[in-house]
Amino acid sequence: MEIVTVPCLSDNYAYLVRGPGGVCLIDAPEAAPIAAALSERGWGLDTLLITHHHHDHVGGVDELRATFGCSVVGPRAEQEKMPALDLAVQGGDVLEVAGTRCEVIYVPGHTLGHIAFHFPEAQAVFTADSLMALGCGRVFEGTPEMMWDSLSKLAALPPETMVCSGHEYTQSNARFALTIEPGNATLKSRANDIAKARAEGLPTATCKLSEELATNPFLRPDSPEIRDLLGMKTATDAEVFAEIRARKDKF
């Protein structure tokens, strides 16, 4: 399978996935750059997968559907809040998309119906505003406990899985992460690599889950350094996560 990252709006990403049975798109922040990326490659668009209802992820749905005739798939729990769905799905559903297996994972927190799409054969998961590169989405509609449970589901995927998230927030996430776990040498090295990539205008919102597990503070509430720094040595992982998220909200 081939995955193409498409920058949209000011800091969003959509993802085109070409498999043996066609082309799908994950999220549609705006139509024009996505249509241009398809045209450049001579691709059509068969299926559009939506992770959650926020406008910066669905703004291009209607135009793309009118142009390409694609079917639109999205979270059943949010179907009243977004453009019309041809298929409403929920966590645990398994689809065939672009000729390959696609597993729907329920990851509420950022919104109450947020879902992620896992393509095991491609070793990729599209997480939008749940797990993000060196971060996680703000908890707008759910609770910190809900978000921690969602991140735990994603953290349990195979470590070689490529995490493809929805925004170019990685450099600011790295700056925050270093305030939470300043002694993490792997994190320091990654932050330097991210700075170089962004200086060259390269996207940094995708990386292997193994790298996230080693550097993303939102996946590391069991880290002794983090617990010492926060003064939460005996707290639960969910409690430590909630404190990290609260600090990020003020960062």
Q: What is the pLDDT of residues 32-77, one digit of tens each?
A: 999 999 999 999 999 999 999 999 999 999 999 999 999 999 999 9
Q: With CA atoms as reference, report the closest residue to 119 among 226, 199, 3.
A: 3
Binding-site sequence positions: 52, 54, 56-57, 110, 129, 167
Asked whether the beta carbons of 16 and 4 are under 8 A apart, the reply is yes
pLDDT for 145: 97
Binding-site sequence positions for Zn(2+): 52, 54, 56-57, 110, 129, 167
pTM over 0.95: yes
- The secondary structure element, H or E, covering residue 95 is strand 94-97
pLDDT for 178: 98
Q: Is 162 exposed, middle or buried (0-12, 13-18, 19+ CB in 10 A)?
A: middle
Class of the CATH domain delimited by 2-250 = alpha beta
In terms of DSSP bridges, do strands 47-49 and 22-26 run parallel, antiparallel, or are they unpaired? parallel
Residues of the chain above pLDDT 90, percent: 100
Q: Write out residues in the chain with pLDDT < 50, as ranges.
A: none
Asked whether the beta carbons of 83 and 61 are under 8 A apart, the reply is yes
pLDDT for 199: 97
Angle between helix axes 144-155 and 237-250 (nearest 10 degrees) is: 110
pLDDT for 210: 98
Indicate the domain borders of the chain.
2-250
pLDDT for 111: 98
pLDDT for 197: 97
